[in-house]
Structures are given as C-alpha cells and as structure tokens.
Homo-oligomer: A and B are copies of this chain.
Amino acid sequence: MSKSSKTPRSRPIQRDVAERAGVSSATVSYVLSGRRGRANPVSEETRVRVLDAVKELGYQSNHAARSLRRHRTDIVAVVHRPPSNPWLEELIEQLHRSAVERGCSVITVPIASRDRAETVLRVLRERFVDGAIIAPDPAIDPAQVRALAAGGLPLVAFDDTLTARRLDVVRLAQEEACRSAVCYLIEQGHRRIAYLAHDEELALDGHGVKFAAYRKALSDNGIELDPALVVPGADFRPDAYAQVQKLLRGSTPPTAIFSASDRAAINAIWAARDAGLGVPDDLAVIGVGNTKEGESVQPALTTVGTPQTDFSQVIDALWERIDDPTRSGRELLEPWRLVTRSPHD
C-alpha cells in the first residue's frame, strides 16, 4: 500500500499533487514557491506536469503549514477603532498597493472598545500577521502596544506619547493642533465653545488628547469649562446632528463648536443651518481630520489634520521593520495643522 491511501482528506495536500505529477513533494514546493536563494530551477517539463496536477486537483497551499515553516505569514494588519473614515481608507488603500508588490495581503482589525482589545489582539500576539500599522486613537491601552512591540512584533503606530523604542511611531502632535484650533475660536471672540467628543473619549478616565487640548485652551484663556457644552456624538452622524440640535435649543447655546471629527462637524453645520442659524456667523464650527468632505460643505469647514495624505514613509517604515525587527525605533513627523477655510462661492 502506498502512502497515498491514507484516510481521505478534505483538501488535497502537496503530497497528492506530487504523487499525481510523479515527483516528490519537494519539487512541488519548488515549482510553487520558487527555489529561494538557489539558482537551480525546475525543468520546464516537470514544472508543467506539476502545474497541471495542481489545477486538476484544485490544490491550495495550506497557510498554517507554510507560515509555521517559513516564520512569516505575508499578511499585515491595520488596527483601528470604528467607525472607519476616509483618512483611514486612504491609508489602507496605499498600504494595499504597496503590499501586493511584496506578495503581501492586508487585513484590518477593528477594535471597538478597550475592553474588547485584549481578546482581539490575539491576532497580533500570536503572530498571525507579519506586522501592523496602528491607526490614531485606537481603542487600545498604550501598555498593550508596548507589550506587542516588546514581544518583537513589527509595529508602526500613529501615536504622540509612545516612546519609539522597539517600534516606529508617527507623531501627529494632535494636542497642539487641537489647542490652536480652540484658541483660534477664542481669538474670534467666542466664549461659549462646545466640544463634540468621540463617545469613548468621555467614557475614559484620563480622557483623550482632544478633550485635554480643549480644556487647556479654555483655561489658558481664563474661560471656565461648562460641562453642559461637552457632549458625545463625534462617532456617528445622526448622533452629532441630534446633539448639536439639542445644544442650539438650550437656554444658553454655544456660539462655536469644536468637533472631534469632520464627520460630526459637518452634521453640526447642517443642524445649525436647519435651525435657521448662519454659519459661521451664528455658529462657528471646527472639525478634526481634514477630510475632502469638509471642502464641499457650505461654508467650507475649517479643520485640523494632516495637510497631505502620502503614507509612503509610514508604509516603508513598516516594511523595513518587518525586514529587520531589531532595528531601533524611528520617529516620523506628520504634524497636524489648523486648516482655515473661509466660506466659499
């Protein structure tokens, strides 16, 4: 009895292909993966026979076995907190384009909240991926990012506070940019400035950088924070619309809004316009993200964000770190800026 008559498997394996082509499993591997490092090719005749057998059997290589052996998965991840946004999708798109050249696939790992991070990060911890980019403001404890990096996982994180130790970090200088945005409103004479926060930011103890920037700008200018002006809603458009609508109907409505997302800022503008208010005369609005969308609102949205969206530096940093995981940490600078736009038309 030959080896071939083992218990029937659900999917064909390399050995099945080898037997069908009348070669060894090693040869099949050479044909499919190329003989790395060696110049010795497989003869054209065998190559064809193997390829035919592959097609006939519908063979697909087994990823687990391959990556166990090769110590790499050829998959990279983008870790982010939903909801998605155009900035993130551009990052993923560019990573994708770059990844195909390396024969690498891109997946995303959405993490909705910190309490869920621990379980989901298994995908990174257990080396399911060769490396990852961590998008700004993920729902992950910084300590977990450090732990992943310390574990040797190639990582590039958009983060302003993490030390660039065993990972690369991209500095956005979010707090400074956000502070300048709120100060800008104050310079325009605004005193009652509302803050439209991401839902999870208000839930966290330490609060996030954007809220910190907001508070700092107010206190630096001797303005007392009115808790009634700090509301959630930056995550979802309908929430933003409803929250702003409620604010504007209040007894002492704000004259300006600083929104943690462009998304919400735009809905704030709509809520104001639907309430019969002029923007920016009756209500000034500043968003965060510098998305294309902000350019087509009426009036165009003043916002805070990265001036450009060329992620090649970031992506290259990831590839380099994957190729040399022990490389010392690097710090990239893509500082956010205040992008003021005057009403157009």
A residues adjacent to B (C-beta < 8 A): 10-11, 58, 60-68, 73, 75, 77, 82-84, 86, 89, 92-93, 96, 100, 103, 105-110, 112, 116, 119-120, 122-123, 125-128, 150-152, 236-238, 241-242, 267, 270, 274, 292-293, 295-298, 325
User: CA–CA, A10 to B72, complex, Å?
Assistant: 13
Q: Are A274 and B292 in contact (CB under 8 A)?
A: no
User: A126 CA to B13 CA in the complex, in Å?
Assistant: 11
Q: Which residue of B lies closest to A73 (CB)?
A: B64
Q: Provide the bound-state CA to CA distance between A242 and B120, in Å.
A: 39
Q: Which residues of B are found within 8 Å of A116, using beta-carbon distances?
A: 96, 100
Whether the Cβ atoms of B110 and A63 lie closer than 8 Å is no
Contact of A107 among B73, B77, B238, B297 (CB under 8 A): B77
Chain B residues whose C-beta falls within 8 Å of the C-beta of A122 in the assembled complex: 63, 105
Q: Residues of B contacting A238 with CB < 8 Å?
A: 292-293, 295-296
Partner of A119, one of B67, B100, B237, B241: B100
Measured CA separation A180–B194 after assembly (Å): 43
- Residues of chain B within 8 A (CB-CB) of A75 are 123, 128
Q: How far is the CB of A236 from chain B (nearest CB, A)?
A: 7
For residue A241, give the distance in angstroms from its CB to the closest CB of chain B: 4
B63 touches A151 (CB 8 A): no
The answer to whether B93 touches A126 (Cβ under 8 A) is: no
Q: Which of chain B's residues has its CB closest to A263's CB?
A: B237
In the bound assembly, the distance between CA atoms of A60 and B236 in angstroms comes to 37
Are B298 and A274 in touch, CB under 8 angstroms? yes
- For the complex with contacts A11-B127, A89-B110, 9 further pairs of A-B residues with Cβ separation under 8 Å are A62-B126, A63-B64, A66-B126, A73-B128, A96-B120, A105-B119, A105-B123, A106-B110, A267-B296
